[in-house]
């Protein structure tokens, strides 16, 4: 608050109204008082300050701080302040304990089924009939219990879900998670039914065979034997259930997302919410900022209009009249944030470093190119000598500074959007540096001959002007419209922000991938269109729209000023460029696209943003991208992914990773469901025919381990390829299991079942060994059933290679060596299988096999690859009987609890965002409420926007704060007036300590011009390294 008081103390001091009361620690204000003060808003807060402290300067005195110098560099004093007021940072959220994560993981429906089965199986394992061994059953129970920790990874996912609830507003449930949950429940129910039927059939068969066919009587001494049979039947049922229940699905999702998130970090994507990674794969639209995202954000002046001459290159200083050159240097040096500067390059041969607002840096660089220096001017006229500053905002799109001249008069320097500032110019400097009349007709000629050609070259045009006031005619400085008028134009400059060289190719990839890229910028419409053409967003001959913010609002609003979805649906499909837009326009566009029902599928929208006011749009979007370099803390907090390099190409990589996650889960599903179908049918059929499962309980659990944990690691860690961007987005309604995948699942299941049943019923004849069917209760392991088990596992290993391709590709080995995890798991599983078969013995129900038998098992396994080629030959279109599976839950399936949970997420997120330096952010979250309030005023909205009042000046606020806040309160509901939001930010955000007497350091970028809304909202509050604001944001 020190710098906020800055201007009021220097220019408009108020007497201290109350005597300062002593407080603990020697300070006149307690932590509780400061906290309660931060909870107040507007006039109420100002009244509290005046009543308790006299004015802002009184508060500063109580806190023993200087409004100009900040805190003294005294280690003891700083430590004392830390002890009394605490450290200046937001404490991290308390992490959950391991036991909490385990408990949350145990709430999963899939795990609950396994928990019940494991507890029953474990309990039965302790039952030992007289004279019988129960070792095998103990192992069954132990292995069943062993499966539970595998799902503890789910806790990580749940933690992420909790974090999401705590930090972002309501978004629809992750598409992939919704589909998987529904599919897992369906499969689990089917498995439960199958296991129950298996147990019932086994029990009935035994009872009928024993007591009806053979006519035996239940004897008391035979009870232990009968109970042992029932225990065996129940364990077979549990085995069927464990194999059928796809507990590996959540694990596969977590592994795939976690792996992708880690790899995405190398691609400059810092993922804050796991589900955003998957959602990005379904993106159909990207609304991107221009400056710094599509462009390099290193601006330079390349063209200028000085002294009636249009220079296509930097003019030689000798070509300019000394008066024009001197005025230009002073206008740029003084009427810019003093925090913006050009520093020497860090490395020899590199470009000079631009610190602060990039547009102002371009102008300062122009001064240096003219062989002049801005620093001596600033040293001669420091910030505290500036008489008045009208900071930049996105409505008037200009910034003005007043200085007192030696003769007692005043000089105003102004810069801003050329087409706006030129309307306020009545004179222009000619080639001799003399004033020449500048009429509306001259302005129209300049727009056509100078400004439009510059804009069509993709340049941002800025007008630089000045006005002199004599000492006798000092104006009313609070009437900004009158002060900033009757100007004399010094120059028009064209600033280039080059398109990043890699962006056009990245946008072509997006378009090939079925993603529409839209540019949302505050720039001039011609500049925006030119940049869009260079990027490839718009193509010659295409049917597209390029609109300015006002025209966009005119098209989508009715006579009452209300947004109509029907009108919006006529605009957004063709819209490619939205220029001169405000953050509210961006939010309106994003919400309109998401809420639209015109297409076959709901649009999935990604949005980039860097400014504080971009928060609502970032949160409304399916995936919000914040800029890691230029982005504010509020924008990052509202985002799902942070681009650490602010580069559009990183978004394309995020799309690729998102699609890869989806495909990885589909690969895993294709593999797992094949194993599920075969294992369940084999266990069920075998048990019903032979009263025993060909695959023993421990063997089934080993297979379960293969197809769940190992397969999750192997298939969920496949690296992405460029081919992922050659198809359209799947969409939210795309089923997880396509018809092609269903063909592969059923096709391979047929092959495996044929082999298994052939081995089961005639295998002993083929291998000339003893039959394992109808063996006594505790007979030793047979070669016959060991061959069946080994063959089954070999077929799964080779089918895992087939599962790498889900779109009917023939070359299943393509890129296999690019995934060392896959190769390691396949080879490792094979090695463990050799150990189990050869040395597992009775615990694994295995008998060692000969080399010949091993070769036959391998031969049948390799047959899976050949059979896969046969399946790929069959056209999916010919198999009309195949159905897709894995659709997501519909709207009607959303429970009241889930909907209520969404509301809680909004409230919780809002409460989180109110803390600390971003308490004022709640106003942005209530835009929709404000829209309803202002309906009656929409007809006169834009007229009001064209006439900004002097309230936008920080100095004016300091002079008459009571008037400003009351006036501000009445203007809260404005839709397109981002000036209001910015003023709110300036009033509430504590500025950094600096000798800045006019708050220019805070509004250092605000300053800018045709940067439009982006400059005002994004640049102003950008955390630029090296700036005072950056340090404040970082520490807060």
H helix runs in 691-738, sequence order: 697-705, 711-715
Farthest-apart Cα atoms in the chain, separation: 127
Catalytic residue among 108, 275, 289, 633: 289
Residue 77 catalytic?
no
Token pair of 733, please?
Answer: 């309604």
SS3 of residue 353 by DSSP: strand
CB contact set of 502 (below 8 Å; sequence gap of 6+):
647, 649
Q: How far apart are CA 124 and CA 138, in angstroms?
A: 8
SS3 of residue 732 by DSSP: coil
CB contact set of 695 (below 8 Å; sequence gap of 6+):
239, 679, 682, 683, 686, 703, 788, 789, 792
Is 827 exposed, middle or buried (CB count within 10 Å of its CB: 0-12, 13-18, 19+)?
Answer: exposed
SS3 letters across 296-352: CCCCEEEEEEECCEEECCCCCHHHCCHHHHHHHHHHHHHCCCCCCEEECCCCCCCCC
The answer to whether the CB of 948 falls within 8 A of the CB of 393 is yes
Q: How far apart are CA 486 and CA 469, in angstroms?
A: 11
Token pair of 30, please?
Answer: 């307690």
The answer to whether the CB of 665 falls within 8 A of the CB of 716 is yes
The answer to whether the CB of 157 falls within 8 A of the CB of 899 is no
Closest CA to 634 of 604, 609, 654, 657: 609
Token pair of 867, please?
Answer: 């059979």
CB contact set of 976 (below 8 Å; sequence gap of 6+):
549, 550, 553, 582, 584, 585, 941, 942, 945
Q: How far apart are CA 988 and CA 793, in angstroms?
A: 66
Q: At what angle do helices 961-970 and 42-53 cross, to 10 degrees?
A: 160
Token pair of 630, please?
Answer: 């230029």
Token pair of 110, please?
Answer: 């899939």
Q: What is the dihedral of CA 186, 189, 190, 193, to 10 degrees?
A: -170
List the catalytic residues.
289
């Amino acid at each position: 608050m020190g710098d906020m008081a800055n201007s009021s103390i220097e220019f408009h001091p108020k007497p201290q109204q109350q005597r300062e009361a002593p407080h603990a620690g020697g300070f006149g204000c307690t932590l509780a008082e400061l906290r309660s003060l931060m909870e107040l808003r507007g006039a109420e807060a100002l009244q509290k300050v005046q009543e308790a402290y006299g004015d802002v300067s009184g508060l500063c005195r109580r806190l023993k701080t200087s409004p100009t110098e900040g805190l003294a560099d005294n280690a003891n004093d700083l430590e004392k302040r830390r002890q009394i007021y605490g450290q200046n940072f937001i404490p991290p959220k308390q992490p959950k304990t391991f036991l909490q994560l385990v408990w949350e993981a145990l709430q999963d429906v899939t795990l609950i089924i396994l928990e019940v089965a494991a507890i029953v199986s474990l309990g039965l394992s302790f039952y030992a009939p007289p004279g019988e061994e129960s070792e095998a059953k103990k192992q069954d129970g132990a292995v069943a219990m062993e499966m539970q920790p595998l799902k503890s990874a789910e806790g990580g996912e749940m933690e992420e879900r909790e974090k999401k609830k705590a930090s972002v507003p309501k978004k629809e449930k992750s598409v992939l998670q919704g589909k998987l949950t529904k599919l897992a429940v369906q499969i689990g129910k089917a498995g439960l039914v199958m296991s129950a039927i298996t147990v019932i059939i086994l029990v009935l068969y035994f009872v009928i065979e024993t007591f009806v066919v053979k006519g035996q009587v239940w004897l008391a001494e035979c009870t232990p034997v009968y109970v042992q049979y029932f225990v065996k039947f129940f364990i077979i049922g549990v085995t069927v259930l464990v194999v059928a229940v796809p507990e590996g699905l959540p694990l596969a999702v977590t592994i795939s997302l976690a792996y992708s998130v880690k790899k995405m970090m190398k691609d400059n994507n810092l993922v804050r919410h796991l589900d955003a990674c998957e959602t990005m794969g379904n993106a159909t639209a990207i609304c991107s900022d221009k400056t710094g995202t599509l462009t390099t954000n290193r601006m330079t002046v390349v063209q200028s209009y000085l002294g009636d001459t249009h220079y296509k290159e930097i003019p030689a200083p000798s070509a300019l009249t000394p008066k024009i050159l001197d005025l230009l240097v002073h206008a740029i040096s003084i009427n810019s944030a003093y925090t913006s500067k050009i520093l020497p390059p860090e490395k020899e041969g590199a470009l000079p470093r631009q610190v602060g607002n990039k547009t102002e840096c371009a102008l300062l660089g122009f001064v240096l190119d003219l062989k002049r220096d801005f620093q001596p001017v600033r040293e001669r006229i420091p910030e505290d000598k500036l008489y008045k500053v009208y900071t930049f905002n996105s409505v008037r799109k200009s910034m003005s500074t007043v200085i007192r001249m030696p003769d007692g008069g005043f000089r105003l320097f102004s810069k801003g959007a050329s087409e706006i500032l030129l309307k306020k110019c009545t004179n222009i400097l000619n080639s001799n540096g003399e004033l020449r009349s500048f009429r509306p007709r001259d302005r129209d000629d300049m727009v056509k001959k100078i400004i439009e050609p510059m804009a069509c070259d993709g340049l941002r045009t800025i007008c630089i002007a000045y006005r002199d006031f004599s000492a006798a005619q000092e104006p009313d400085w609070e009437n900004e419209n009158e002060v900033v008028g009757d100007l004399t134009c010094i120059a028009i400059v064209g600033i280039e922000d080059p398109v990043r060289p890699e962006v056009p190719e990245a946008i072509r990839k997006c378009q090939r991938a079925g993603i529409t890229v839209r540019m949302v910028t505050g720039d001039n419409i011609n500049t925006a269109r030119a940049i869009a053409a260079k990027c490839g967003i718009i193509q010659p001959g295409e049917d597209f729209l390029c609109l300015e913010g006002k025209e966009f609002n005119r098209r989508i609003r009715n006579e009452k000023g209300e947004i109509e979805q029907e009108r919006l649906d006529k605009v957004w499909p063709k819209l490619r460029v939205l220029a001169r837009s405000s953050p509210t326009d961006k939010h309106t566009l994003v919400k309109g696209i998401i809420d639209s029902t015109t297409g076959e599928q709901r649009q999935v929208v990604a949005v980039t943003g860097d400014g504080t006011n971009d928060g609502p749009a970032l949160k409304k979007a399916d995936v919000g991208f914040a800029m890691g370099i230029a982005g504010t803390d509020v924008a990052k907090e509202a985002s799902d992914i942070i681009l650490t390099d602010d580069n559009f190409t990183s978004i394309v990589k995020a799309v690729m990773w998102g699609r890869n996650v989806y495909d990885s889960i589909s690969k895993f599903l294709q593999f797992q469901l094949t194993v599920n179908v075969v294992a369940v049918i084999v266990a069920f059929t075998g048990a019903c025919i032979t009263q025993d499962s060909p695959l023993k309980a421990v063997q089934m659990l080993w297979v379960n381990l293969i197809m769940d944990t190992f397969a999750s690691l192997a298939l969920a860690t496949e690296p992405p390829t460029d081919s992922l961007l050659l198809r359209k987005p799947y969409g939210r309604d795309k089923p997880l299991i396509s018809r092609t995948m269903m063909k592969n699942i059923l096709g391979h299941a047929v092959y495996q079942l044929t082999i298994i049943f052939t081995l089961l019923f005639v295998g002993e004849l083929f291998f000339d060994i003893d039959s394992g069917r109808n063996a006594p209760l505790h007979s030793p392991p047979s070669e016959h059933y060991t061959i069946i088990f080994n063959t089954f596992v070999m077929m799964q290993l080779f089918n895992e290679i087939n599962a790498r391709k889900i779109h009917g590709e023939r070359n299943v080995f393509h890129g296999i060596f690019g995934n060392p995890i896959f190769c390691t798991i396949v080879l490792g599983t094979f090695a463990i299988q050799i150990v189990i078969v050869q040395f597992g013995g009775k615990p694994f129900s295995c008998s060692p096999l000969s080399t010949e038998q091993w070769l036959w098992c391998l031969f049948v396994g390799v047959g899976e690859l050949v059979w896969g080629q046969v399946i790929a030959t069959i056209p999916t279109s010919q198999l009309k009987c195949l159905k897709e599976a894995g659709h997501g839950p519909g709207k009607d399936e959303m429970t009241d609890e889930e909907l209520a949970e969404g509301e809680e997420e909004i409230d919780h997120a809002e409460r989180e965002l109110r803390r600390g330096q971003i308490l004022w952010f709640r106003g942005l979250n209530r835009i929709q409420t404000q829209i309803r309030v202002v309906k009656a005023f929409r007809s006169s909205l834009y007229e009001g926007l064209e006439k900004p009042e002097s309230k936008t000046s920080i100095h004016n606020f300091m002079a008459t704060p009571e008037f400003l806040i009351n006036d501000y309160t009445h203007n809260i509901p404005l839709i397109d007036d981002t000036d209001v939001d910015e003023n709110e930010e300036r009033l509430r955000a504590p500025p950094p300590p600096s000798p800045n007497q006019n708050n220019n350091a805070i509004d250092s970028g605000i300053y800018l011009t045709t940067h439009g809304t982006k400059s005002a909202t994004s640049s102003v509050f950008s955390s630029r390294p090296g700036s005072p604001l950056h340090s404040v944001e970082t520490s807060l």
